[in-house]
Structure 1
Amino acid sequence: MRVLVAPDKFAGTLTAVEAAEAIAVGWHRHAPQDEVVLAPMSDGGPGFVDVLHASLGGDLLAVSVAGPARAGDTGDTQVPATLLLVGGTAYVESAQACGIHLTGGRHGERHTTAGVGALVKEAVAAGAQRVVVGLGGSGTVDGGAGLLAALGARADVPLDAGGAMLRGVRTVDLRPARAVVTGVDLVAATDVDSPLAGLFGAAKTFGAQKGLDEGAQIVVDGYLQELALATDRRLALEPGAGAAGGLGFALLLLGGARVPGFALVADAVGLAEHARHADIVITGEGSFDFSSRTGKVPAGVAAVAAEALRPCVVLAGEVLVGAREMRALGMDGAYSLVDAFGRERAFADPAGALSDLAARVARTWSA
C-alpha cells in the first residue's frame, strides 16, 4: 500500500517536515510493509522555505534582516532569516522577518515589514530573476509600507514605523523601490484573499490576533485606506492585498502577482502526481476547524485527493468540526491528538503523540 503524507505545520509545536516524519514513523510501526511518501506542505506562512527546501533542494542563504520591532522598542531589531535559491527563483518567508512569534501577538500597529523588504533585496542581489514571497503568520499591519521603505520608497510620513504612523500619508514615491526589482518577477503566495482595507481588510479581519483592539482596528484601517489613496486604490481592492497585514498590497504595487500559496507549493512538490499513485492521502494541522476550508492546507490536500479519487484523512491537534462538516470539507476521517491522548501530552510530546495517533490510524486504514 502506498501512503502519501502531506501535512501542514502544527502551529507552535511541529513544523510541517517534523509532522510528516512523525506520521511516517507511527504508520510504519503498524504497517512496515507500506510505502510512505512524504510531501510536507505550506500555504505560504511559517515553514514555507523549509517545506520547499525539503522537496526542491536548492541552496539556503542565511542572512540577518530587520525584525518587526522599531529601533528603540523592546525586542531584537535584527533577526536571522533564510532565502531558498532554486535555479533563478528565490523563495522568501515573510514570517521569518515579521512573524507573530516575533511580536508576541501584541501592538501589531507598531511593527514594521522592513525586514521582508530586506529579504527581497537580498534575493535580487543573489541574482534571482523570480522572487516568491510566502505571506502568512505576520505580526504586522502596515500595508507593506515597511517593505517599500526598505527597497527605497519615500513618503511624507515614516513608512518603516508601523501602521500607526501612516496617519496623514498623502504622497508616496515608489520609483526607487520599483527600480530595485526591475526585471524581476515578484510573486505573493498567500492563503487569504482579503482586500487591503474595509470590513474584510487586513486590520479588521486579522488585527485582533496581532493585538489590535476594536478601536485600534478602526484607526489602522483608516490609515490603510489613506495609504491606498496615496498609491493605488484599485490594487488595494485586489484579492490578497490584505494578506500578511497588507504585504500583498506592497508586492502588487511593485508589479507583483498574487497566487494561492497552497497551489504554488502543491505544484512545486508535485502533489497531484503523488496523489494519483497513492492509495490514501494523510494530511494534518494544529487545529482542524472551519477556517481550514479557506485556502488552508487540509482542504487543499483533500481537493487534490478527491481529484485523484483517493480517500483523505486528517490528523490534527484538535478537531473542532463534526462528522457532517468534516465530509463537507472533503475528509473521510479526522483524528485528534487531544481526544486520543489528552491536552497535556499533545502539547508536551507532540511528535510522540502524533506518531502514536498515526499508528492507530494505520490499523484502520492500512491494507
Structure 2
Amino acid sequence: MRVVVAPDSFGGTLSATAAAGAIAEGWRRAVPDDELRLLPLADGGTGFVEVLHAALGGEWHELKVTGPFGDPVAARWLRIGDTAYLESAAACGLHFVPRERRVPATARSVTSRGVGELVADAAASGVSEVVIGLGGSATTDGGAGMLAALGAVPVDDSGATLPDGGSPLAAVARLDGVLALHGVQLVAAADVDNPLLGEHGAAATFGPQKGADADAVAELDAALARFADALAAAAGRDVRDEPGAGAAGGLGAALLAFGARRVSGAGLVRELVGLDAELDSAGLAITGEGSFDWQSLRGKLITAVAGAAAERGVPCVVLAGQVSVGRREAAAAGVEAAYSVAENAGGVEASMADPAGTLAALAERVARNWSR
C-alpha cells in the first residue's frame, strides 16, 4: 500500500520532518513492504519556511532581528523566484520563551518588532511579494511592533512613542509615519480564522498559552481594541472582525489593515508542495501535530490534509501528541481515526521524554490496524 505521511510539527518537540521520519520508522517496523511517501507540511506556524525549502529549494537570507524580549535573535527568510517567504515564529516564536517565563508580565510585553525587520529586509531585496506565515507567536501586540519596524510607529496623545508590547497599546492614539514596503504585495498565510477581539480573539484564545492570566487577557483585549481604532484610522480599513485578524497575536490584523491578501497557510503549502498529486495514488494518508484539539478544526493543517484525502476517497488518520477532538467532530473534518501518543505511551510525561520514539511506537501499532 502507498501511504502519504504528511504531519505538521509537534509543538516544541519534533519538527515536521522529524515527525514524518519517526512515523515512517515505526510504520516500517510493522509493515516493511508498504511504500511510504514522506511529505512534511506546515500551516503558517513554526516550520512553514523550512517545509517550503525542503520541497522547492530557494535561497536563504539570514539576519539578526529583534526577538520577543528585545534582544537580537538569528532569523532567516526564503526567496523563491520573485517571492519571499518568512514566518512570524522565526522572530517572535513561543519557542523563544522558556516555560518558566510564560507569565502575565511576559505576555503583556513581548514584541513582534523582529517580524517587521524580516519583512523590511525581504521587501528591500527586489521581490514582488512577501508571504508571512502566521502562527506559533509569543506575542499579543496586534502587530504593533512589526508596524513600528516598518515605519508606522504607535504613539500616545502627546506624540510619544509607546514601549513595545501589547499592554502599552492601551494608551495608543495613532500611528505616526508610513510603511516602507517598496511596493511589494503582502500575503498573510494564517493558520487560524480567529478575529482580533473578544472571546475568540487573539488575547482570549491564545494568550493563556503565552502566560496570560484572566487579568492579563482582559487588559490585552482592551488594549487591542484601542489599537484596532488607531489601525483603522491609519489604514482606512477596520479589520478587527475579519477572519485571521487574531492570528499570531494579532499580527493578522496589522497585515490585513495595510492591504495584505489573506490565504490559508495550510492551503498554500498544500498547493506548493503538491499534496493533491501525492494523494491521487495513495491508499492512506497520515497526518498529525502536537495536539489535535478544537483549534485544529479551525483551518489548521490536519483539516487541509483530511479534506484533500476525502476528496479522493482516501482514508486519513491522525497521530497526535494528545487528542481531545471527539470522533464525531473528527469525522466531520474527514478524519477516520485519531490516536494519541501520550495515551499509547502511558502518559504525557513518558511521551515527552522520548518524542520520536513514542511517536514511532504509536505508528507501529497503527500500521498493524490500517495497512492492507
Q: What's 1:74 paired with?
A: none
Give the length in aligned residue pairs: 358
Of 302, 309, 327, the match for 1:305: 309
Q: What's 1:43 paired with?
A: 43
Q: Distance in 1 between matches of 2:228 and 2:325?
A: 38
Q: What's 1:81 paired with?
A: 75
Q: What's 1:134 paired with?
A: 133
Q: Distance in 2 between matches of 1:252 and 1:292?
A: 22
- 8 Å CA contact 2:40–2:51 kept in 1: the answer is yes
Matched, 1:258 2:262: yes
Matched, 1:356 2:361: yes
Q: Distance in 1 between matches of 2:113 and 2:228?
A: 18
Amino acid at match of 2:200: F
Taking the TM superposition and a 5 Å limit, the aligned residue runs for 1:101-250 are 101-104=95-98, 105-106=102-103, 107-157=106-156, 158-159=161-162, 161-175=164-178, 177=179, 180-232=180-232, 234-250=238-254
SS state at 2:239 partner: helix
Amino acid at match of 2:78: L
Amino acid at match of 2:166: G
Amino acid at match of 1:59: E
SS state at 2:367 partner: helix
Q: CA deviation at 1:145?
A: 0.7
- 8 Å CA contact 1:149–1:159 kept in 2: the answer is no
The 1:315–1:181 alpha-carbon spacing in structure 2 relative to 1, beyond 3 Å, is same
The 1:224–1:314 alpha-carbon spacing in structure 2 relative to 1, beyond 3 Å, is same
Q: Distance in 1 between matches of 2:19 and 2:198?
A: 37
Q: Distance in 1 between matches of 2:327 and 2:240?
A: 38
Return the TM-score normalized by structure 2.
Answer: 0.91
SS state at 2:41 partner: coil
- Structure 1 vs Structure 2 CA RMSD: 1.8
Return the TM-score normalized by structure 1.
Answer: 0.92
The 1:354–1:199 alpha-carbon spacing in structure 2 relative to 1, beyond 3 Å, is closer
- 8 Å CA contact 2:112–2:145 kept in 1: the answer is yes
Q: What's 1:57 paired with?
A: 57
Q: CA deviation at 1:269?
A: 1.0
SS state at 1:63 partner: strand
The 1:32–1:220 alpha-carbon spacing in structure 2 relative to 1, beyond 3 Å, is same
Deviations 1:189-246 (A, max 9, x none): 1122222223332222222222222222222222222222123162222211111111
Deviations 1:76-114 (A, max 9, x none): x01111211111111111011111222343322211110
SS state at 1:360 partner: helix
The 1:266–1:159 alpha-carbon spacing in structure 2 relative to 1, beyond 3 Å, is farther
SS state at 1:166 partner: helix
- 8 Å CA contact 1:302–1:331 kept in 2: the answer is yes
- 8 Å CA contact 1:145–1:159 kept in 2: the answer is no
Q: What's 1:95 paired with?
A: 89
Q: CA deviation at 1:322?
A: 4.0
- 8 Å CA contact 2:116–2:146 kept in 1: the answer is yes
Q: Distance in 1 between matches of 2:308 and 2:12?
A: 26
- 8 Å CA contact 2:166–2:223 kept in 1: the answer is yes
Q: What's 1:286 paired with?
A: 290
Q: What's 1:316 paired with?
A: 320
- 8 Å CA contact 2:238–2:257 kept in 1: the answer is no
My pick for the range that moved more, 4-13 or 317-326, is 317-326
- 8 Å CA contact 2:190–2:264 kept in 1: the answer is yes
Q: CA deviation at 1:283?
A: 0.7
**Runs of 4 or more consecutive aligned structure 1 residues displaced over 6 Å after TM superposition:** none
Q: CA deviation at 1:307?
A: 0.5
Q: CA deviation at 1:174?
A: 4.6
- 8 Å CA contact 2:155–2:176 kept in 1: the answer is no
Q: Distance in 1 between matches of 2:246 and 2:345?
A: 38
- 8 Å CA contact 1:46–1:137 kept in 2: the answer is yes
My pick for the range that moved more, 86-95 or 225-234, is 225-234
Q: Distance in 2 between matches of 1:183 and 1:93?
A: 20
SS state at 1:44 partner: coil
Q: Distance in 2 between matches of 1:99 and 1:182?
A: 26
Q: CA deviation at 1:188?
A: 0.7
